[in-house]
Amino acid sequence: MNSFTGAPNKQKSVLGIGNALIDVLINITDDSVLQKYGLPKGSMTLVDAFLSAEIKKETKNNTRNIQTGGSAANTIHGIAKLGGKCGYIGKISDDELGNFYLEDFRKNQINTHFFFSETGTGHATALISPDSERTFGTYLGAAMELTAEELTHEIFRDYGILHIEGYLVQNHALIEAAMRIAKENGLMVSIDMASFNIVEANLDFLHEIIRKYVDIVFANEEEALALTGKNPEEALSEIAGMCKIAVVKLGANGSIIQTGNRVIRINAIQAKSIDTTGAGDIYASGFLYALSENLDLEVAGKIGSFLAGNVVEVMGAKIPEDRWEQLYPSIEKLINNKG
């Protein structure tokens, strides 16, 4: 699928930047493993290579699945599936996981701007609780070695939107350099808040860069609370005062969007949730794809919500190929404002 009929021709390509990670998805029967290794449920916690190996050893008999991951990478992957033009910046290693990562992106016709390290390719262990909540123990590996100095204006010039994952705030210089170069080249800047504990640990920095550089903020309820100290509706209003477009995702209760004084409420679709991994990432895919095609914000929210409702019904952060084929007609109707 290359594009949807009826979509405007003028397109803004989307460039993602984030931690290039392999997702190791593991079903757990209860939350005792989270408590044992000090992983707050629903959060992303950085771990070293030793602890990452210990978690995998502890869960060696649990069912698991491996796929390319990283929040911004998942979003870009979804945009590619929608037929959008997109690219990705990240750092991997020339190892088995890195080669798997590179091949997956090339197969999906995503422009790759990869840098390479001698350190092994990073991986995120996603522990999926029986209630479908996911908790990440993330070993960044090569991903954390991406530096501000490696970013060049040439990388950004062919794109219209830069999408950054909040997980990158472990490197303030990198995230600020990416935003600054994007703005100097006329790109809109989008950021996904990533995880409530990340927001709490970087609150002043996030407030500063949002006001200075960011056009679009994505946050779930917990992240919006961490960012503003307020409930979702009040948080939405405060975030909208900091940037052009604020999006607060409410899980099964849908999402709310604000730009200026316009507030849009988007319903969630009915879904049988088995794994929430990637729901926010794929929501951003639909939203940013719609913006890149100059579609209305309500349409953007509906596409995002539709995709999020589908990804929670499968294991992992990716919608399977055969399911995408079933979704395209419904997405077409949403784009043509008939759904």
What residues contact residue 111 under an 8 Å CB cut-off, 6+ apart?
86, 87, 88
Q: Is the pLDDT of residue 318 over 70?
A: yes
Q: Which domains does the chain have, with CATH numbers?
A: 14-19+69-121+143-335 (3.40.1190.20)
Q: Is the pLDDT of residue 5 over 50?
A: no
State the DSSP string of 64-99: EEEEEE-HHHHHHHHHHHTT--EEEEEEEESSHHHH
The pLDDT value given to residue 6: 35
Q: Is the pLDDT of residue 9 over 90?
A: no
Q: Is the pLDDT of residue 278 over 90?
A: no
- Of the listed ranges 150-154, 224-228, 277-281, 290-294, the one predicted with least confidence: 277-281
Question: 45 is written with which tokens?
Answer: 């916690």
**Band (207; pLDDT cuts 50, 70, 90):** very high
**Band (338; pLDDT cuts 50, 70, 90):** low
Crossing angle of helices 279-292 and 297-311, in 10° steps, is: 150
Region of residue 136 (phi > 0: left; psi between -120 and 50: alpha; otherwise: beta): beta
Contact 223, 196 (CB under 8 A): yes
Q: Is the pLDDT of residue 306 over 90?
A: yes
Contact 203, 226 (CB under 8 A): yes
What residues contact residue 325 under an 8 Å CB cut-off, 6+ apart?
none
Question: 113 is written with which tokens?
Answer: 């701007």
**Band (33; pLDDT cuts 50, 70, 90):** very high
Residue 219, strand partner residues: 248
3-state secondary structure string, 142-194? HHHHCCHHHCCHHHHCCCCEEEEEHHHHHCHHHHHHHHHHHHHCCCEEEEECC
Q: Provide the percentage of residues in the chain whose pLDDT is more than 70.
A: 96
- The torsion angles phi and psi of 80, rounded to 5 degrees, stand at -60, -40
Contact 124, 22 (CB under 8 A): yes
Average pLDDT over residues 202-210: 97
Q: Provide the percentage of residues in the chain whose pLDDT is more than 90.
A: 81
pLDDT one-digit tens code per residue, 119-154: 999 998 999 999 988 899 999 999 999 999 999 999
Tell me if residue 254 falls in helix, strand or coil.
coil
- If residue 198 lies in a helix (H) or strand (E), which one and from where to where? helix 196-201
**Band (272; pLDDT cuts 50, 70, 90):** confident
Question: 21 is written with which tokens?
Answer: 């990670």
Q: How far apart are CA 245 and CA 200, in angstroms?
A: 21
- If residue 225 lies in a helix (H) or strand (E), which one and from where to where? helix 221-228
- Of the listed ranges 55-64, 143-152, 183-192, the one predicted with least confidence: 55-64
The pLDDT value given to residue 11: 61
Strand-pair category, 161-165 with 14-17: parallel
The pLDDT value given to residue 290: 97
Contact 6, 332 (CB under 8 A): yes
Average pLDDT value over all residues in the chain: 92
Q: How far apart are CA 158 and CA 145, in angstroms?
A: 25
Q: Is the pLDDT of residue 105 over 50?
A: yes
Q: Is the pLDDT of residue 51 over 70?
A: yes
Q: Which of 56, 10, 88, 8 is CA-nearest to residue 281? A: 88
